[in-house]
């Protein structure tokens, strides 16, 4: 792992779960972590309920766009976190893979997205404490 760990969040559409996770890690990790997200079958645009749910916590992900998952993005990441994309992720030696089983927010309203958002936030906080232990004491 380099001095700055890199994390890639992957879900099918790269429009909800992975975008919220990337938003949280960028917000909480600052320059201590390199954050990317991608999808195995990217949607046309980001999920508006995910944007609204994140905005409630002061995190703006509205300018993000779904991106296609590439082998290069996986190979250059220290940690790859998948969220329901199954075997679409290429596997490379030396990369840590984790699967977060989370409901897909696609087609759901903001009320249904909030609990998914909150679970992602909790998991991202734990991940950040693991990757950058010095920051663990500075969590809000």
Task: Report how far residue 49's alpha carbon sits from residue 35's, in angstroms, rounded to the nearest whole number.
Answer: 22
- Does the domain formed by 6-134 have CATH 3.40.50.2300? yes
User: What pTM does this model have?
Assistant: 0.91
Q: Which of 55, 72, 71 is nearest to 63 (CA)?
A: 55
Task: Report how far residue 45's alpha carbon sits from residue 81's, in angstroms, rounded to the nearest whole number.
Answer: 21
pLDDT of 92 reads: 77
Residue 128, token pair as written in the block: 């950040």
Residues with a catalytic annotation lie at 11, 85, 89
pLDDT of 140 reads: 42
Question: Could you please report the per-residue DSSP string of 29-51?
Answer: HGGGSEEEEEESS--SS--HHHH
Give pLDDT tens digits for 33-65: 999 999 989 999 999 999 999 999 999 999 999
Burial class for 49, CB neighbours closer than 10 Å (0-12, 13-18, 19+): buried
């Amino acid at each position: 792992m380099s001095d700055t760990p890199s994390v890639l969040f992957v879900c099918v559409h790269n429009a909800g779960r992975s975008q919220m996770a990337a938003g949280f890690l960028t917000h909480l990790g600052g320059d201590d972590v390199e954050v990317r997200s991608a999808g195995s079958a990217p949607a046309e645009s980001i999920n508006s309920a995910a944007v609204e749910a994140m905005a409630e916590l002061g995190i703006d992900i509205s300018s993000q766009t779904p991106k296609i998952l590439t082998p290069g993005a996986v190979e250059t990441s220290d940690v790859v976190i998948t969220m329901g994309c199954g075997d679409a992720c290429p596997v490379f030696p030396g990369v840590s893979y984790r699967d977060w089983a989370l409901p897909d927010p696609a087609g759901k309203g903001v009320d249904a997205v909030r609990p998914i958002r909150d679970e992602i936030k909790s998991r991202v906080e734990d991940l950040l404490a693991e990757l950058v232990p010095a920051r663990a004491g500075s969590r809000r």
